[in-house]
């Protein structure tokens, strides 16, 4: 009985390597004429070329994704650094107890709870 393949999952590298060996062997057969013409060597070669073209497209798309991700990460860090510096500038210009400082989503200095002195225990 033939094994059913899950076509949603990628084939493993060993399976692809075995397929390459099988394809090379089929190409070297003299007089190979299958009863079912779906398995003709010309159709198998066309399928091999299609697979390699899609794999190359996938590699190019992945490289573009990596480059875009790196650019986005760099832009995020640049923006974050500028916003942190801007917050420091607001604190320098208006003070850490100002409404402008609070409008940045930061807590005013006066809103922090003051430390309470503890009495020393009597010995």
Domain that holds residue 99: 39-111
Is the Cβ–Cβ distance between 26 and 32 less than 8 Å? yes
pLDDT tens per residue, range 57-105: 999 999 999 999 999 999 999 999 999 999 999 999 999 999 999 999 9
Residue 25 lies in a domain: no
C-alpha to C-alpha distance for 41 and 46, rounded to whole angstroms: 9
Residue 74 lies in a domain: yes
Q: What is the pLDDT of residue 1?
A: 45
Judged against a pLDDT cut of 70, whether residue 111 lies above it is answered with: yes
DSSP helix/strand/coil, 113? coil
pLDDT tens per residue, range 14-66: 999 999 999 999 999 998 899 999 999 999 999 999 999 999 999 999 999 99
Residue 1 lies in a domain: no
DSSP 39: G
Q: 13-28 and 41-94 helices cross at what angle (nearest 10)?
A: 150
Number of domains in the chain: 1
Judged against a pLDDT cut of 70, whether residue 3 lies above it is answered with: no
Residue 20 lies in a domain: no
For the entire predicted model, the pTM comes to 0.66
What average pLDDT is seen over the chain?
Answer: 92
């Amino acid at each position: 009985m033939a094994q059913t393949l899950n076509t949603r999952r990628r084939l493993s590298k060993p399976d692809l390597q075995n397929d390459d060996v099988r394809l090379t062997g089929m190409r070297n057969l003299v007089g190979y004429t299958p009863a079912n013409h779906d398995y003709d060597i010309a159709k198998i070669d066309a399928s091999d070329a299609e697979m390699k073209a899609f794999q190359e497209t996938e590699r190019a798309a992945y490289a573009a994704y990596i480059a875009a991700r790196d650019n986005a990460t760099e832009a995020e860090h640049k923006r974050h650094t500028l916003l942190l510096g801007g917050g420091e500038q607001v604190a320098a210009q208006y003070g850490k107890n100002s409404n402008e400082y609070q409008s940045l989503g930061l807590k005013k200095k006066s809103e922090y709870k003051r430390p309470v002195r503890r009495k020393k225990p009597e010995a």
